[in-house]
Structure 1
Amino acid sequence: MSLAAITLVSSVLLNLFPQTPEAYGPLNFACCVKYTRKPVPFAVIKGFIEQSSIEVCRIDAIIFFTRNNKKICASVRDRWVKAALGRLRSKIAKLESKASQHMTRAGEKRVNETNTHSPWSFE
């Protein structure tokens, strides 16, 4: 067989087998390849994730999710990005604090509402 024939048969066979997307990560994940330099108003940001260059993508980035479901790639070195991350982390801390207080209060109510004398106590 000639080299051209082998190449043709090989390419046909390789195209018959579907490529597995699992080898490349989730289908809905797209890497940031450049940063936006235009600051995004904090009011439109609803969340973020961090992209690391040591994983799948080539650059380190912060990916902001906006209220209208857009993804905005930004550099963590930019001042506006640092400010937005600080505000988001502050909001998360407040929510965690409220959730912790709510759980504690709910636990206190349950203890107060139940009989404090256990059938297994030796009093």
Structure 2
Amino acid sequence: MSLVSITLISIVFLSLLPHTPKAYGPLNYACCVKYTRTPLPFGVIAGFIEQSSLEVCRIDAIIFITQKNKKICASIEDQWVRAALAHLRSKIAKLENKASLRLTTAGPNSVIQTNTTNSP
């Protein structure tokens, strides 16, 4: 076989191999490229993710995830976005407080001592 034949066969064979996606970064990562200006009702928001322009994507954004797993891009500069984030953070804080209360509450077999002295 000639060198040209071997080269052509090698090129065809290598082009049939699947390319490694790790070499190109996370291909399934979708970046926000524009914002919605329409406020979302708070009841449809299930959570959020922060997108930073310092990472893979070009703009800073808040990505709201709806209860139907739809992703909505919004700007942190919008008042409705800041209000929604504040509401979500307060819900998280309440859940964390409830969880810590459950951890510190005495169980059914615990003895709770109280001060029963009467003050004049």
Question: What range is the shorter-chain TM-score in?
Answer: 0.7 to 0.9
Counterpart-to-counterpart distance in 2, 1:73 and 1:93: 24
Aligned to 1:3: none
Q: 1:47 to 1:20 in 2, by over 3 A?
A: same
Q: Deviations over 1:64-123 (max 9, x none)?
A: 011111100000000000000000000000000000101111xx328727xxxxxxxxxx
Residue type at the aligned position of 2:26: G
SS in 1 for 2:65: strand
Runs of 4+, deviation exceeding 3 Å:
8-17
Q: 1:9 to 1:61 in 2, by over 3 A?
A: farther
Aligned pairs for 1:36-51 within 5 A: 36-51=36-51
Aligned to 1:81: 81
Question: What is the TM-score with the length of structure 1 in the denominator?
Answer: 0.72
Larger Rg: 2
Counterpart-to-counterpart distance in 2, 1:45 and 1:93: 17
**Higher helix proportion:** 1
Counterpart-to-counterpart distance in 2, 1:69 and 1:42: 14
Aligned to 2:115: none
Unaligned runs of 5+ residues in structure 2 are 1-6, 112-120
Q: Deviations over 1:22-61 (max 9, x none)?
A: 341262x211111001111111111000001111111100
Range with greater deviation from structure 2 (9-18 or 67-76):
9-18
Q: Deviations over 1:11-32 (max 9, x none)?
A: 85764343322341262x2111
SS in 2 for 1:101: helix
Residue type at the aligned position of 2:20: T
Question: What is the TM-score with the length of structure 2 in the denominator?
Answer: 0.74
Residue type at the aligned position of 1:56: V
Q: 1:9 to 1:62 in 2, by over 3 A?
A: farther
Counterpart-to-counterpart distance in 1, 2:27 and 2:93: 29
Tell me the number of residue pairs that the alignment of Structure 1 and Structure 2 aligns.
104
Identity %: 63
Residue type at the aligned position of 1:44: V
